[in-house]
Amino acid sequence: MRTPFWILMGLAACTAQAGAPAAKPASLPASAPSSGSAPKAGALAPEPEPGLEVATFAGGCFWCMEPPFEKLSGVKAVVSGYTGGKEPAPTYKQVGYGRTGHAEAVRVYFDPDFVTYEELLDTFWRSIDPTDAGGQFADRGAHYRTAIFVHDEMQKAAADASKSKLSASKKFEAAIVTPVESVGPFWVAEEYHQDYYKKNPGHYQRYRRGSGRAGFLEKHWGKKSS
């Protein structure tokens, strides 16, 4: 029996059921950002430990942007949060109203001896629709926009080159519209969003497919897309 359209749309929104958490929140890996404690919601993302670097990407719903990076060897932690706007310490509700200028994003803490920034860029492109300027899949609005937020000139050069390479490949019929921007403050999202795909795997998988993301990525990158 075909699933009714209204049910699919109910699965599409990147909205956690905050009033009824389905699982006990899990902490971030102890080795990740800095002192070993999970960063607090509403706080600025911590600086990386010595030997680690950071990268920041917006790709629509941050639930779907954590798994592809966390699977990479050399990635020590991925933190969901908000960046790209001016409002300090925004909440999920404020960002969702679209008035803060922030986008849902992830900050990736990685060891460059084991994974390169270029590999992170490749993973990013394979996780989004880079031709959509109005959001991602069923999630619409600027807070679901895509962007590569670069931390220095080397990242900018690599991101620009990666974007040009993807455009030249003609992988997509439409133009690549994902911007490369200088990074700003990154505010940590609420705890229930961190590693949402692990805490609520059933809802996450239904959302990922119901939103259209899974089908799009499989079409363009194959069944092994994250």
For residue 103, give the nearest of 65, 69, 153, 68 by alpha carbon: 65
Whole-number Å distance between alpha carbons of 122 and 83 = 21
**Which residues, listed in sequence order, are joined to residue 55 by a DSSP beta bridge?**
108
| C-alpha torsion angle, residues 200, 15, 105, 42 (rounded to 10) | -90
Q: What are phi and psi of 214, to 5 degrees?
A: -60, -45
Query: Distances from the Cα of 15 to the Cαs of 12, 69, 213, 217, in angstroms?
Result: 9, 21, 15, 21
Catalytic residue status for 61: yes
For residue 139, give the nearest of 98, 83, 172 by alpha carbon: 98
Query: Distances from the Cα of 68 to the Cαs of 8, 28, 78, 87, 217, in angstroms?
Result: 23, 16, 10, 28, 12
Active-site residue (options: 28, 54, 61, 120): 61
Active site residues: 61
